[in-house]
Structure 1
Amino acid sequence: MNQPMTEPPLPVDRYFNRELSWLEFNQRVLDHAADPRQPLLERAKFLAIVSSNLDEFFMVRVGGLKLQAVQNAGIREPSGMTVSEQLLAIADRCHRMQADQYRILNDDLFPALAQNGIQHIDHSAYSARHQQSARSVFEDVSATLSPHALDPSRPLPLLQGLQLHLCVRLKSEADSEQPWQFAFIPLGRAMSRLVSLPSDRGYQFTLLEDIVSYHVAELFPGRQVLECVAFRITRNADIKLREDHAPDLMLGMEEVLESRKESGCVRLELASDASEHITAFLTETLEVTLDDLFLVDGPIDLGSLFQLTALEGFDELKDRPWRGQGSPDIDPAEPMFETIAKGDLVLVHPYERFDPVVRLIEEAAVDPDVLAIKQVLYRTSRNSPIVAALKRAAERGKYVTAIVELKARFDEQRNMEWAREMEHAGVQVIYGIKGLKTHAKICIIVRSEPHGIVRYVHYGTGNYNEATSRLYSDVSLLTCDEELGADATTFFNAVTGASHPLKYHKIAAAPTTLRSRIKDLIDAEIARKRDGQKAEISVKVNSLVDPQLIDALYRASQAGVRVRLNVRGICCLRPGVDGLSENIVVTSIVDRFLEHARILHFHHGGDDQVLISSADWMPRNLDRRIELLVPIESPQWRKRLIRVLQTYFKDNRSAWNLTSSGRWKRIQPPPEGEAVQAQRLLYEAAVGAVQQADQHRRTAFETHDPPALKDH
């Protein structure tokens, strides 16, 4: 007798741990730094990125776990790990990653750079000329240094997080009961970390801490210096604003920033040649465990390697620049309003420049027919032309509203400054929504035209930052579609009016409808597959963490739907498990541009559904942020974004596959096949489109018509 069919049991560990998954993303960045196919200074840049990434990871993720360990240590996250288990696993993984970093630096990168004319000189190897140059630098720098001898009777001086310090061990005075005394020397961020040294050829440099260490005895006249080593601490930055206790959000955020300066130490980086005396003193004084102690065999804070990438005269050690192209669908001589009125526009950045978006807002600021501009600002550049345009528009009497997210982590100070400046210019500034972060990328311009009011809208996947738009891969939609414009108005009315939004015509928004819209689209593919139709899902996001959406994708796989995911960073979904996810493939691309776009494609019975979004698939984005999901309706632009997705899935040079074990395996081109680099293909496609448009203009004949006869 046949037994009834039952679905196979699901594995307990159906989700990967979020924090460990992020660390594997950073390992992929580190592997890019180790790749001998990359130019040397590009490898140095990626080594710097790894360091910068880890700084933020410790400040936010490790900091948050340490707070959670105090509040609720027994809680388990979806993969089943407790807080203490996560902290132990993170410490082990980060120590191994740091060992890889400095092995690449010391055994590979520094020697290769030296062979190519860029040489790091330690103070132990200073020549007579180097000593003279270092002496001159020290004389200039010493006036800014403030050594602080420590006294047990006085409180410890405040050590700034992520700032390099020197710890000096001095022989105590004759009448002291202690054999030695300690002192701190902060090395301010205003001073250049990399210092040029005289060289007959190429570029030789030393580090600021080496110069100060070489002359440190002069800072303590009459005292014997026993030891001088560099160290750096990372403070907990996961300090959240209690908005229910903060009647003034601006003041509350200022208090958060001040609190970060004195928060607990979550990581101590210390030169590996430090004595047991200094090691014990710092670990005890800063109250860190051995898991939090990172002994560094080389320069602390490899983020300083960014400075090397700016060196002139070493172009052969850098990538050839890929300059952003103009869109062939945009005439620089034609007002943006006229261009958008002809039909929707989609721009794929940075292959196509962000300039049209900036130009649209700048033109709106001075256009007499523009009545209002409303925009969300999450992150902006230091000298933002968009903020300047909004101020100019308000000064000209237009109704300008800016939703400035003061809680944008690590951009709080800049956003507060922009908010104050815009308020002084007459902009109505709203500091986001209580309990939520406003992360949507949207700008609406209301314009009076002969046939009525027209709303021009920009929806995007990236921030309004023209500087990062040259480095981040993102998508912009420019439209004056009536329903998308109405949805934009509804969105702003709900946010600025602190009310529940009316039903949208086309878009979906978090935290209300975005997750459910995605689940509906996934369920529609499942239903079609069960009806015997073709069903496919292709998604590009930065992070995939949300258990509800992961489970929906598991259901799609079990139904036989082909699912392709391109996930830059964290992926908690486990692909390739029989009975669970055998129809799911997960890839990740690490290349010269930061992958940042969120693009979704559902086959939808042949009526392709293509959407862009500001949201990653994470609980924080879907439940605790205001985000947007926007359909692309023009067949022309749908096809283009589908081609973009397909290009990413063809990559076999900069792409990795996630295995069911959680390991990422680098994809290799076939022995006799062609190496496919997605970002290069997208850049070449943008260049080709411009060249084709130029060729068309050169071969098209345009007559010079006589001026119209004037009335007499």
Structure 2
Amino acid sequence: MAKTPPRYINRELSWLEFNQRVLDEAADGSIPLLERLKFLAISASNLDEFFRVRVGGLQMVVAQGGVKPDSSGMTPDEQLAAIHDRVQRMTAEQHRIYNELDQQLSTQGLRRLRVEGLSKAQRSVLERVFEEEVFPVLSPIAVTSGADFPLVSSGLLCVCVRLKKRQEDETARFALIPCGPGVSRFLSLPSEAAQAFILLEDALGVLVGKFFQGEEIAECVPLRLTRNADMSLREDAAPDLLEEMENLLDERRLGDCVRLELSDQASPELEGFLRASLGLSDIDIIRQPGPLELSAFFRLTDRPAADALKYEAWPPQPSPAIPAGASMFDVLSAGDVLLCHPYESFDPVVRLLQEAAADPDVLAIKQTLYRTARDSQIVEALMLAAEKGKHVTVIVELKARFDEARNIEWARQLEQVGAQVIYGVKGLKTHAKCCLIVRREPHGIVRYMHFGTGNYNEQTSRIYSDISLFSSDRDLGADSAAFFNAITGYSQPQRYRKIEAAPIGLRDKLLEMIRAETEFKQQGRPARIDAKVNALVDPVLIDALYEASQAGVEVRLNVRGICCLRPGVKRLSENIEVVSIIDRFLEHARILHFHHGGDHRVFISSADWMPRNLDKRIELLVPVIDPACRDKVINILESYFSDNVKSRKLLSDGTHRRLVPGKRTPFRSQQKLYDEAKRANQSAEQQSRTTFEPHRRGA
């Protein structure tokens, strides 16, 4: 008898399938070459983080003797074995694609040179560059065993050098050369027909002898360690959260090795030495048939290049709902505004805070910060507001993984200018995206809000697809005030009027809405659920969706990344369709639409449908009430479900199948959303000129 597939898809393997979809874009010949190189670099960067966090966590579970299967029925050991096999195949494909891109880019003016192909002039320049820029900076470290193996940082490219034995019975001698940030990975060389470069490790391969005068080099092999970053912050034992977080960053940099990437040119002797020194097993070693750290090639995509090598520019469009010269407070007093980034500009978010900082009638600003830009105008506006004497409260999440150092820096600067900085709630991450501005007006105190699905980050707002909702609604204002009070003080979370927040009521609200659709269908009434999230892992929500499907509810899900729900299974999920879109912008918005018997309920959220978001984070679920804004969200969702160019359908076996237009008109959702934003802006500009011209002539 055929084995019944598990009720849930394994989380880790689902994530690897997401990364495969990113890699598929790098393989797509219809995409410009430098954009394909970006997708390749992103897939490599994603894999680095996956090992640092997910594999590191699994290895800790195994080391502690954990054998409990996950919801898909796989033990930690089985998951690690499956991950290793899948990553080996993915790595081989990454390098196959890299070789293809390398050849094509060399014909388009961006050429990677190999040592054996250098001209005499190029070799001379390389030796000079090595003497002046590499040799003075890098330092070899003699290594005899694991006891003196240097604590190189996670992700740092190194070369391991094996010296030839001077006599037969001599112990093998090794040295490690860490290639720190002070030396460029890409060494430019003169070339008549192209921008030409040679990789640092290739240069070291032939010139490393300069570090070892009088010795013969047996081999010089690139390697790279990935260290465990899945470490817990002991908030209960930390008298100073800021200091404890700084200590954690140091620990993460030098955590246990969870992966050794090694050139496939390494000899068995060198690999055996590294294996013994680092205490690794076969499953921890990934042999690479080409350059290591493919994520570094992202830097090449910013070089000057022909337009044909990059996407056509899609500059964010001004929204007609927010006139350029109008006060943001006047705009929001007239009604809610909903923006879809990056098609519509993120500038109004920055503008709202800048106006609030300068406005003498603004009394207070309350803001959450999770991931911010390096030169954040938003933080600058908050600092200006504090300097002007306004009451500024900022909830800075120090535990935003891999952005902790930047958040620590911002937190200190905000405190120095007098802002009240709160480091979130003990044991929880504050992931909600909310800004509350309190303003004194002639008729009384008015609250203005911004809610988002993405971070307050001007840089990522240009490459992430997110939703912004602006409002001065009284109930949302009261809810926002209660929300901030619950985080910053001892106030117990109150029952909100319109919003819901994790970890108290968000999952319950989602279950309530899903079950309502189930009941509508059982009563013979129309029922449908449309949802767009980045990940679907939570088994409670998955089971509720299964029940809805069994009742006949049509469920359409757009899940960018991990999806543990298994769609299309008879008598379980045959009414559930799951698609995923990978395109030039990272899909990041969480938006939900419940038919609700014709009384459509629409929400935006900061939360993905994962246990960590619903149980261990402070998140928000915000209703979109204004009819025009609600219809706009529904239209956005419909665009995603209509995509037949960049969409992949999740099959019941956990793999994805790319949709193709066939005889239908090609429909690319991101192109459509940008075209709509552009048309709306052009129409507003035309209308403005039309209304202005008669007045000018009459004057």
Q: TM-score, normalised by structure 1?
A: 0.96
Secondary structure, in 3 states, of the residue corresponding to 2:136? helix
Structure 1 residue 179: deviation in Å?
A: 4.1
Q: Could you say which residue in structure 2 is the equivalent of 1:358?
A: 350
Residue 160 in structure 1 maps to residue 153 in structure 2: yes
Work out which of the residue numbers 646, 649, 661 in structure 2 matches 1:657.
649
SS in 1 for 2:654: coil
Question: How far apart, CA to CA, are the structure 2 residues paired with 1:287 and 1:37?
Answer: 44
Contact 1:354 1:466 in 2 (8 A): yes
Q: Distance in 1 between matches of 2:111 and 2:266?
A: 25
- 1:647 aligned onto 2:642: no
CA distance in 2, matches of 1:337, 1:130: 61
Q: Secondary structure at the match of 1:566?
A: strand
Match of 2:12 in 1: 19
Residue of structure 2 equivalent to 1:28: 21
Tell me, yes or no, if structure 1 residue 236 matches structure 2 residue 225: no
Task: Determine which of 484, 502, 516 is the counterpart of 2:508.
Answer: 516
Within 5 Å, give how 1:113-124 maps onto structure 2. 113-124=105-116
Alpha-carbon offset, residue 201 of structure 1? 1.4
Residue 136 (structure 2) pairs with residue 143 (structure 1): yes
Secondary structure of the equivalent of 2:530?
Answer: strand
Match of 2:44 in 1: 51
| Distance in 2 (alpha carbons) for counterparts of 1:364 and 1:508 | 26
- Contact 2:204–2:220 (8 Å) recurs in 1: no
Residues 626-675 of structure 1 show CA distances to partners (whole Å, capped at 9, x for unaligned) of: 000000001101111101100101111110001111110010111x3211
How far apart, in 2, do the equivalents of 1:564 and 1:152 lie?
A: 56
- Does the Cα contact within 8 Å between 1:591 and 1:654 map onto a contact in 2? yes
Measured after TM superposition, the shift of residue 99 of structure 1 is: 0.7
Cα deviation digits, residues 123-174 of structure 1 (max 9, x gap)? 2222112212211221122111111122459622211110000101113456
Residue 382 of structure 1 pairs with residue 374 of structure 2: yes
User: Which of 396, 399, 405 lines up with 1:407 in the alignment?
Assistant: 399
In the alignment, the residues of structure 2 paired with residue 595 and residue 507 of structure 1 have an alpha-carbon distance, to the nearest angstrom, of 23
Contact 1:171/1:179, CA 8 A, preserved across alignment? no
For the aligned residue pairs, the C-alpha RMSD in angstroms reads: 1.7
Q: 10-19 or 241-250: which moved more? A: 10-19
Distance 1:527 1:381 in 2: 45
Task: Please name the residue that 2:567 is paired with.
Answer: 575
Give the equivalent residue in structure 2 for 1:105: 98
How big is each residue's C-alpha offset from its partner over 1:32-80, in whole Å with a ceiling of 9 and x where there is no partner?
A: 1001111111111100000000000000000000111122421111111
1:575–1:586 contact (8 Å) kept in structure 2: yes
> What corresponds to 1:674 in structure 2?
665
Unaligned 5+ residue runs, structure 1?
1-9, 707-712
Is 2:311 aligned against 1:319? yes
Q: 1:11 Cα shift?
A: 5.3
Shift of 1:682: 0.5
Amino acid at match of 2:677: A
d(CA) in 2 for partners of 1:68, 1:154: 25
* Structure 2 portions without partners, runs of 5+: none
Superposed displacement of residue 523, structure 1 = 0.9
Distance in structure 1 (CA, Å) of the matches to 2:489 and 2:154: 39
1: CA distance between counterparts of 2:54 and 2:496?
35
For 2:335, the equivalent position in structure 1 comes to 343
Which residue does the alignment assign to 1:307? Answer: 299
189-198 or 97-106, larger mean C-alpha shift: 189-198
Distance 1:205 1:498 in 2: 59
Counterpart of 1:690 in structure 2 is 681
Quote the offset at 1:547 in angstroms. 0.3
Aligned: 1:558 with 2:550: yes
**Conservation of the 8 A alpha-carbon contact between 1:404 and 1:419:** yes
Superposed, 1:505-544 pairs within 5 Å as 505-544=497-536
Question: For residues 258 and 203 of structure 1, what CA distance do their matches in structure 2 show?
Answer: 38
8 Å Cα contact 2:146/2:276 also seen in 1 = no
Q: 1:153 to 1:661 in 2, by over 3 A?
A: closer
List per-residue Cα deviations over 1:668-705 (Å, max 9, x = no partner). 111x3211111000000000000111121122257589
AA of the residue aligned to 2:162:
R
Matches within 5 A, 1:466-615: 466-615=458-607
1:444-463 alignment runs, 5 A limit:
444-463=436-455
Deviation at 1:116, TM superposition (A): 2.0
Q: 1:226 — aligned with what?
A: 218
Q: How far 1:304 moved relative to its partner?
A: 1.5
Aligned to 2:411: 419
Corresponding residue to 1:41 among 30, 34, 43: 34
Give the distance between the partners of 1:240 and 1:246, measured in 2 at CA.
Answer: 12
Cα deviation for residue 499 of structure 1 reads 3.1
Partner of 1:440: 432
- Once the 2 structures are TM-superposed, how far is the Cα of residue 103 of structure 1 from its aligned partner? 1.2
Tell whether 2:79 aligns with 1:81.
no
For these two proteins, the number of residue pairs brought into alignment is: 695
Instruction: Return the offset for 1:177.
Output: 5.4
Cα deviation, residue 191, structure 1:
2.4
SS for the counterpart of 2:64 is helix
Query: Which AA in structure 2 matches 1:341?
Result: S
Q: CA deviation at 1:534?
A: 0.6
Write the distance in 2 (CA, Å) between the matches of 1:73 and 1:526.
Answer: 38
Q: Is the 1:440–1:628 Cα contact (8 Å) retained in structure 2?
A: yes
CA offsets per residue over residues 306-365 of structure 1, 9 Å max, x none? 122112132211111111000011111111111111110001000001110011001111
Assess if the C-alpha contact under 8 Å between 2:201 and 2:222 holds in 1.
yes
Taking structure 2 as the reference length, the TM-score comes to 0.97
Q: Distance in 2 between matches of 1:11 and 1:444?
A: 51
Superimposed CA distance per residue, residues 493-551 of structure 1 (whole angstroms, 9 cap, x where no aligned partner): 00001432111000000000000001111111111111111101000000000000000
- Aligned to 2:567, what secondary structure does the other structure show? coil
- Separation (CA, whole Å) in 1 of partners of 2:290 and 2:501: 47
What secondary structure does 1:700 align onto? helix
Corresponding residue of 1:261 = 253
2:137 and 2:182 in contact (8 A); partners too? no
Match of 1:331 in 2: 323
Matched position secondary structure for 1:144: coil
Counterpart-to-counterpart distance in 2, 1:190 and 1:123? 22
Cα pair 1:217 1:224 within 8 Å, conserved: yes
SS at match of 1:338: helix
Question: Higher mean Cα deviation, 65-74 or 483-492?
Answer: 65-74
Go from structure 1 to structure 2 and tell me whether the alpha carbon gap of 1:705 and 1:418 turns closer, same or farther (over 3 Å shift).
farther
